[in-house]
A and B are shown apart, each in its own frame.
Chain A
Amino acid sequence: DQQVKQNSPSLSVQEGRISILNCDYTNSMFDYFLWYKKYPAEGPTFLISISSIKDKNEDGRFTVFLNKSAKHLSLHIVPSQPGDSAVYFCAASVSGTASKLTFGTGTRLQVTL
């Protein structure tokens, strides 16, 4: 049972444009969400997070939006850069459960010149 889903396995975006990565979840107990970026044969790198008390969090080129009623979150990267090419995982946790993260299956982003 995949509680966190990233339905797009891959996404290609031109440099300078906006990249939008989507994530859906089914467990209504999740109240903290994170995005990680991962290169092959490396561990994930934390990008940005959002608590369920917010609907938007911004950090530089990265913005995460949370729609609790739709159980949907998205990561916006603008402007996209070639160095952003990687696999992006969204993850979710329930406060008070020792921060156990449930990961999505990832979306491979390719930023082209």
Chain B
Amino acid sequence: GAVVSQHPSRVICKSGTSVKIECRSLDFQATTMFWYRQFPKQSLMLMATSNEGSKATYEQGVEKDKFLINHASLTLSTLTVTSAHPEDSSFYICSARSASGPTDTQYFGPGTRLTVL
């Protein structure tokens, strides 16, 4: 149980284009989903918290107009990197908190490697 998927697993795009990453909870309903990014050899940095049906809460320093988050259902959240630039290249990971499980345990997706040329 508690499986989270991400799509795509890897994406390469040109500078200036937008990229959408999907995060799905496959076998549970997620009231809250989280988006992280990880730079090489560094820790996971929380970007934003997404609650189903409401606006995402962004961490300090994260541009909400650049990283658009939509949590349309209890099993799907999307992150859109708009007008991507090479400095946005990173490993993006989502996680989901089950509506019925341990409230403070997050289950992570496999991540998406974004490379902006």
Contacts and interface: CB of A to CB of B under 8 A. Distances in A.
Interface of A: 32, 34, 36, 41-46, 49, 89, 93, 95, 98-106
Contact of B109 (A43, A89, A95): A43
Contacts, number: 61
Given A103-B43, A104-B43, A46 B105 contact: yes
Nearest to A101: B106
A44 B94 CA distance: 10
B111 A98 contact: no
B109 A99 contact: no
A105 B40 CA distance: 11
How many chain B residues sit at the interface, stated as a range, is 20 to 34
Nearest to B46: A100
B100 interface: no
A60 to B, nearest CB: 17
A87 B35 CA distance: 20
Contacts of B95: 43
Contact of B108 (A36, A49, A95): A36
Closest 4 CB pairs of A and B: A43-B108, A32-B104, A103-B43, A105-B43
